[in-house]
Amino acid sequence: MAETTGLWGRLRAGLARTHDRLAERVGTLLDRPARLGPETLEELEEALLGADLGVATTGLLLDRLRERARRSDLEREGRLRDLLAEEIARILEEAPRAAAETAARRITLVVGVNGAGKTTSIAKLARRDLVAGRRVLLAAADTFRAAASEQLALWGERLGVGVVRQAAGSDPAAVVFDALQAARARGIDHLIVDTAGRLHTKEHLMAELAKIRRVVEREGEGYRLSTLLVLDGTTGQNALAQARAFLTAAEVDGVLVTKLDGTAKGGMVIAIARELGLPVLYLGVGEGADDLVDFQPREFAAALFA
Ligand SMILES: Nc1nc2c(ncn2[C@@H]2O[C@H](COP(=O)(O)OP(=O)(O)OP(=O)(O)O)[C@@H](O)[C@H]2O)c(=O)[nH]1
Ligand SMILES: [Mg+2]
């Protein structure tokens, strides 16, 4: 499919490498009527592991297929491609889902390890707000490096969105304090906070986030706070381990997985959705401000195998 515009097109293009990896390994199997002989199962297992679904999720998926084969005549049910997409969608639908966003005014703290794609993802989220007609403001609370706040300021200029920043080395909580004053004064609907979010020490991160939370509690009346964890999709299963480490230090409400366009390991999203106990909210599928899609179980599963 050549379509690259629209959300489905973006998702398809973003998952092309993972899709191709799967197709490369089991392509000929996929279009045949589903017959689950031992050889098929073995090839399938290898392909799914290759796409980085991980051992646990791959095992679960194969179990589901076997179970289904016991109950019905798979050959008559259709192509393996469709059965796989359906079972993956089902597994994803059992995972935690995002609650409907009801708060009128929101603050999103964006956390994640170095280089995961936090700042770029913030630009993408801001773009969504703009398109939806919401007033958005960015806060450069990653004060650790001067370049970090410059990068955010650059995105702000490009998008036409305000960025609250202070000198490098200043207190991140003080930036959030300033940003909240500005947000209230300007009637901002969504304040997005870029944190350093590094896990150099767990205690340091916990202290920094706790301090920001206290500022939000004091100064953020009317704003609902949530924390978004950004994970680098190219690290595959490692992202899961990294996320677990993060969750010991930070309260997180949802996950955004980046760089899916640059990896054949997109299957890790399934493992993350299933094993982390947190809703996967968004997927990053490119470096541009529009390269963000909502995570939807059925669409995601379909894009892997379509
Ligand atoms: N291909 C691709 N590249 C991405 C995506 N998201 C981010 N990147 C790139 O990944 C690199 C790091 O992104 P940043 O947004 O700077 O990451 P960060 O987490 O803010 O990094 P630090 O501030 O250094 O911790 C940049 O080159 C981005 O363009 C994505 O979805 N796809
Ligand atoms: Mg950054």
Ligand 1 atom nearest the C-alpha of 151 is: 16
Query: Of 52, 92, 39, 153, which Cα lies nearest the Cα of 294?
Result: 92
Q: Is 10 in the pocket of ligand 1 (CB under 6 A)?
A: no
Q: Which residues contact 47 (CB under 8 A, 6 or more apart)?
A: 21, 22, 25, 26
Domains of the chain as residue ranges with CATH: 6-94 (1.20.120.140), 106-296 (3.40.50.300)
pTM, whole model, 2 decimals?
A: 0.94
Ligand nearest to the CA of 153: 2
> What is the CA(62)–ligand 1 centre distance, in A?
34
Q: How far apart are CA 7 and CA 265, in angstroms?
A: 20
Placement of tokens 């410059």 in the chain: 150
Distance from Cα 116 to the centre of ligand 2, integer Å: 8
Cα(166)–Cα(139) distance, integer angstroms: 9
The answer to whether the CB of 14 is under 6 A from ligand 1 is no
- For residues 170 and 159, the answer to whether their CB atoms sit within 8 Å is no
pLDDT of residue 253: 95
Taking the C-alpha atoms of residue 306 and residue 304, their distance in angstroms, rounded to an integer, is 6
Q: 90 φ, ψ to 5°?
A: -65, -45
Distance 118 CA to ligand 1 centre (A): 6
Question: What's the pLDDT at 114?
Answer: 87
Q: pLDDT by residue for the chain (306 residues), tens digit each?
A: 444 568 889 999 999 999 999 998 888 888 877 778 888 889 999 999 999 999 999 999 999 998 888 887 777 777 888 889 999 999 999 999 888 777 789 999 999 988 999 999 999 999 999 999 999 999 999 988 888 899 999 999 999 999 999 998 899 999 999 999 999 999 999 999 999 866 567 788 888 899 999 999 999 999 999 999 999 999 988 999 989 988 988 899 999 999 999 999 999 999 999 999 999 999 999 999 999 999 999 999 999 988
Report the pLDDT value the prediction gives residue 199, as an integer from 0 to 100: 59
**pLDDT at 33 (0 to 100):** 74
Q: How far is the CA of 196 from the centre of ligand 2 (A)?
A: 7
State if residue 124 touches ligand 1 by the CB under 6 angstroms criterion. no
Distance (angstroms) between ligand 2 centre and the Cα of 152 equals 7
Query: Does residue 286's CB lie within 6 angstroms of at least one atom of ligand 1?
Result: yes
Looking at the CA of residue 198, tell me the nearest atom of ligand 1.
25
Helix (H, G, I), strand (E, B) or coil at 264: coil
- Predicted local distance difference test score (pLDDT) of residue 1: 41
Query: Which residue's C-alpha comes closest to atom 6 of ligand 1?
Result: 117
